[in-house]
Structure 1
Amino acid sequence: MEIPELVDVLRHEGALLADTAAGTPLDAPVPTCPDWRLRDLLLHTGQVHRWAAAHVKGGLARPLDEAGQEAAWGPAPADADLVEWFRTGHADLVAVLAAAPADLACWSFLPAPSPLAFWARRQLHETTVHRVDAEAAAGTAPTPVAPAVAADGLAELLTGFVPRPRTRLRSDTPRTLAVRPTDRAESWLVTVGREQPQVRPGAGPADCTVSGPAHDLYLLLWNRLGADAVAVDGDRSLLELWRTTAGITWS
């Protein structure tokens, strides 16, 4: 996906999240994030948007420290102002990304063609996953994620987050998970062992294969959808290992 397309999808997803939140009580529990109420989800996502915009806007070479994060976030809004506060931060992030030069130099933390591509992509998927969370809090089915967007999110998760040394996804016995969208050409093989996972594109023999529409696999591997929603062939305990150890957390 090209950067303008990433930014356009981010714009759409943030608006959908805000509109969903506006029609839902802020104390509604978020089933996909059991420790959160909707207000926690909005506050977190709004803070992430402001944090991301600060790095792009300032061309920061290092991540914000704790004081810099608090300055970027500003004071937490009252409940009555929370949705509008979210909209303001989201709109600013979209504007900052849309105006940033292609040769932007700033800190980033996952492989990407450029820092600008990283931030546009990361904020698109951060916002999309949390939009799904907001819809879960509202009690509505998730709005479908376009196959190209979902496949891009799978690529970011599998080739960016999963191979990092800090991941807890480990297995005493090496095992391989195949991820095969049925509506896209892309596929991946994730080998899990005692060291950090190894991920490579393509198909091949696997201990467990998950297949289905890219939208469903995207939500499955972000732990927003149960395994019954996709086709699972082979060792289902590998999916349970994923569910309990492959979560991405803010730190």
Structure 2
Amino acid sequence: MSTAMSIGMSAVRAEVVGMDNPRFLACLAADFARLRAVAAADLSGAVPSCPGWTVADLVRHVGGVYLHKTAAMREGAEPEQWPPEELAEEEPLALLDRAYAGLTAEFGARRPEDPAGTWYAPDQTVGFWIRRMAQETVVHRIDAELGTGQPVAPVPEDLAVDGVDELLKVFVAYSVAEWGDYFTDALAGSPGRTYLLRTEGAAWLARSGPGAFTVADGAGDGSADVTVSGPPAALLRWAWNREDPAGPSGVAVDGAPEAVAELRRCIVTATQ
């Protein structure tokens, strides 16, 4: 995914979702510590939210992501050839520790508004990666907890609301607009639908159709083909398909199954 240079979005993003870069970094640190501790308990566990992966695979993936984003900041563009073959031979927790240390050192050496290569054209800054790595880490922290059978720790409400916002706008809406061919199967037969996702203090109204997916803040007139509602952390976990397969859902979903499936296809395609 190639993008053009455009900076200055970090302040706008923080104003919209109520989080600033120090807050994202604090969440990143807390969720990394939890992920690291949980994973160390059982690297062999199967991760139900990532079929085919063990916790060791998950840890190696997160370490590789941290290294990839560190390179994107240092080199000004995301590396095209990834991952390096030698990463597969490195002990997972050692790789994770090394990668996290490098990522946070890079964040500490740069300003959030400094340029950095990203796949999201509207925000080519270090701040984009600060937000993205905070969200990446909380989702994979949940994966590690599910994979080791440990309790899922609470997700701060502001981080969860921001995570839903990022998923809908930065992943799905942007990806459909920029790489529509990838969504042909997901949207070609769409009759045109509306999706309302809402939680305490926030709501998003998405509209889909053949080759189209847009998101606006707010509930509109309150009517939609599908309504998904619940506490922030539960909504984040539902949206990212990180609910406990053995437990009850934390959200209420109201709408035709085929309409819900369309939304799910769009999310999966955008986040692969």
String of CA shifts for 1:57-100, please: whole Å, max 9, x gaps.
33x1x32121xx345x853344xx32132122112212211321
One-letter amino acid matched to 2:210: R
Instruction: Tell me the residue number matched to 1:207.
Output: 225
Structure 2 residue corresponding to 1:137, chosen from 147, 166, 178: 147
2-structure distance, mates of 1:242, 1:172: 10
Whole-angstrom distance in 2 between the partners of 1:157 and 1:239: 16
Q: Within 5 A, what are the aligned runs for 1:150-165?
A: 150-163=160-173, 164-165=175-176
Residue equivalent to 1:238: 259
C-alpha displacement of 1:104: 1.0
Which amino acid in structure 2 is aligned with residue 197 of structure 1? F
Cα distance in 1, alignment partners of residues 124 and 100 from structure 2: 21
Which position in structure 1 is the counterpart of 2:5?
none
Specify the SS of the correspondent of 1:76. Answer: helix
Aligned to 2:190: 172
Give 1:244 deviation, angstroms: 3.9
Matches within 5 A, 1:73-222: 74-78=86-90, 81-110=91-120, 115-163=125-173, 164-165=175-176, 166=179, 168=183, 169-170=186-187, 171-181=189-199, 183=200, 185-204=201-220, 205-222=223-240
Off by >4 Å, runs of 4+ in structure 1: 111-114
Are 1:10 and 1:94, in contact at CA under 8 Å, matched by a contact in 2?
no
Q: What do the CA deviations read for 1:116-142 (whole angstroms, capped 9, x no partner)?
A: 221001111111111110001011232
Post-superposition offset of 1:20: 0.4
**Which whole-Å deviations, capped at 9, do the CAs of 1:15-45 have from their partners, x for residues lacking one?**
1111101011x22111011121111111111
Q: Contact (CA 8 Å) 2:195, 2:226: kept in 1 or not? A: yes
Cα–Cα, structure 1 residues 70 and 230, in superposed 2: closer, same or farther, change >3 Å?
A: closer
CA contact (8 A) 2:195 2:207 kept: yes
- 8 Å contact 2:230–2:252 — kept in the other structure? yes
RMSD: 2.1
One-letter identity of the residue aligned with 1:99? A
- In the superposition, the TM-score normalised over structure 1's length comes to 0.87
Question: C-alpha distance in 2, partners of 1:5/1:112?
Answer: 21
Aligned length: 240
Cα 1:85–1:201, aligned 2, differ >3 Å: closer, same or farther? same
Alignment partner, residue 17 of structure 1: 35
The residue type equivalent to 2:87 in the other structure is: P
TM-score, normalised to structure 2's length? Answer: 0.81
Looking at structure 1, the residues matched to 253 and 87 of structure 2 have their Cα atoms a distance apart, in angstroms, of: 46
Q: Is the contact between residue 17 and residue 131 of structure 1 (CA under 8 Å) also seen in structure 2?
A: yes
